[in-house]
Chains A and B, each alone.
Chain A
Amino acid sequence: MAAEIPGGWPATRKLTHYLIPDFALTSNFLWANLTLFAIPGFLLGARMKRNFGRPQFARGKSAGSTLAALTLLTVILFGCLKLSFAQLPLSTGAPYAGQKAPDFTLPDRDGKPVSLSGLLKRKEAGKLGGLVLIFYRGYW
């Protein structure tokens, strides 16, 4: 499970991650998400129907088109905001090759403190070869 993640999974996860807004209410309750898009959609539909159904009274036709444009713009903006939140941080301050890795001490799964410096000093299979340090997202 840790070594091989199915090829399709990261892609679909990414898709839902980007498409579904990540705000507290809307990520907890899907209906809130749908409402967000349903309200302008409904208003838009109602307005357009009214305008085109009664052309002789449709003085607000241009207003209707404007509303449609504004709604579309809002949806697009929303989507862009969501995309920007979904991007990974630049992490330009991460240690690069040649730098000393910052030391740390953190508890392992049994609560025992483990330090980087301690790990580097300990031999693995009788040899001192270094360390692969992996950071992962968590929330298993």
Chain B
Amino acid sequence: MSEFSARGIRVVAISVDPAEVNRQLAEKAGLTFPLLSDPEEKVIRRYDLLHIRGGPKGADIARPAEFLIDPTGTVRWVNLTDDIRVRASGAQVLKVVDQLGVGARP
């Protein structure tokens, strides 16, 4: 995480989980970045990431994905990841960050 901070890059994660669950997850996993709640899948749909009946008991959820967005709000890299629930894929994204020249110099 400090590698991202050094480059001025923030991290934020979105799922259908409500705020209470996110609070517990953040505490349990020691996450410092924001966990945002999208229970009605509004943003998930906007980003076309809806996985119908993909969750437990046939619940609609988001399929995993990561976007690298530069300060102008432009997407610079997309990773539509496979079956992994939360993916703070630090090293991989960092590599992309540096290769694309996104972010400030560390």
**Given A108-B22, A108-B36, A130:B70 Cβ within 8 A:** yes
The answer to whether B84 and A135 have CB atoms under 8 Å apart is no
Summarize B's interface: helix, strand, loop or mixed: mixed
The number of chain B residues touching the other chain, given as a range, is 35 or more
* Known interface pairs A135-B63, A137-B61; A1-B69 also in contact (CB < 8 Å): no
| Given A111-B19, A128-B71, A137-B64, A92 and B37 contact (CB-CB distance below 8 Å) | no
**Size of interface on A: residues with Cβ below 8 Å to B:** 60
B interface residue numbers (CB < 8 A to A): 4-17, 19, 21-26, 28-29, 31, 34-38, 42-44, 46-59, 61-78, 80, 82-88, 90, 93, 102-104
Task: Give the 5 A-B CB pairs with smallest separation, nearest first.
Answer: A127-B8, A129-B8, A138-B15, A93-B48, A129-B103
- Excluding A88-B82, A100-B75, 6 further A-B contacts by CB distance (< 8 Å) are A24-B58, A99-B75, A104-B46, A120-B71, A134-B14, A139-B61
